[in-house]
Amino acid sequence: MKKTKPKYMQIIDAAVIAIAENGYHQAQVSKIAKQAGVADGTIYLYFKNKEDILISLFEEKMGSFIEEIDQMIAGKATAMEKLLMMIEAHFQLLSEDHHLAIVTQLELRQSNKDLRLKINDILKGYLMVIDKILIEGKENGEFSSNLDVRLARQMVFGTIDETVTSWVMNEEKYDLNALAGPVHQLLINGFGNR
């Protein structure tokens, strides 16, 4: 049910702002509609309810982010370069979009269990990108041959995610992008690179 109509994306972008500024539970559909500059009823032409907006928002933003990452890492020769590029891109995206950072790091986590399960499904594409990088690094000898890919993936995602969450919680007082190199170094040292 993916739509790429301008009004659809206008509502998605407005939802990011409305949810970031008001919190998910206080961001009524009317606030999202007002932010998007559309009538309340227009929202229901594209979405079933507020939960559907949140899921669609995450699906759209994560989908385009995964496509972007795939393109960026395609030209890189090593798994280590690809991992660095992925970390840099993740930090860059969220450091450039204050509202999206708040939504992904804080508001998505306050949702109910069913919603979190749907969000985890969307996240699988991103985790598969991490897996591909780790498997490549393991196969070409950049990472230890006995690297547990599943555990390493959790460490990569968890480290990136917690770094961004801490940055958001600290009111973005420091340069998130400057942490990409140190985070990358920490991870590849743990993976037993050559």
pLDDT (tens digit, 9 = 90+) per residue, 39-69? 999 999 999 999 999 999 999 999 999 999 9
Whether the per-residue pLDDT at 138 is higher than 80: the answer is yes
Residue type, 75: G
pLDDT recorded at residue 22: 95
Contacts (Cβ under 8 Å, ≥6 apart) of 73: 81, 82, 85, 86, 129, 133
Instruction: Provide the pLDDT confidence category of residue 1 given band limits of 50, 70 and 90.
Output: very low
Whether the per-residue pLDDT at 112 is higher than 90: the answer is no
Average pLDDT value for the chain = 92
pLDDT recorded at residue 110: 73
**Nearest alpha-carbon partner for 46 in 89, 92, 1, 95:** 1
Mean pLDDT of 159-172: 95
Mean pLDDT of 136-165: 96
Write the CA distances from 110 to 25, 57, 104, 127, 130, integer angstroms.
9, 15, 10, 21, 25
User: CA-CA distance, 125 to 47, in Å (whole number)?
Assistant: 23
Contact 51, 115 (CB under 8 A): yes
How much of the chain, in percent, has pLDDT values that exceed 70?
Answer: 96
Residue by residue, DSSP assigns 148-180 as -HHHHHHHHHHHHHHHHHHHHHTTT-S-GGGGH
User: CA-CA distance, 90 to 65, in Å (whole number)?
Assistant: 8
Residue type, 93: L
Paired tokens of 116: 């979190």
User: CA-CA distance, 76 to 133, in Å (whole number)?
Assistant: 11
For the whole model, what pTM was predicted? 0.89
pLDDT recorded at residue 100: 95
* Helix axes 79-96 and 149-169, enclosed angle (nearest 10): 30
Contact 50, 28 (CB under 8 A): yes
pLDDT recorded at residue 77: 93
CA 52, 86, 106 angle in degrees (round to 5)?
Answer: 40
Neighbours of 91 (CB within 10 A): 22
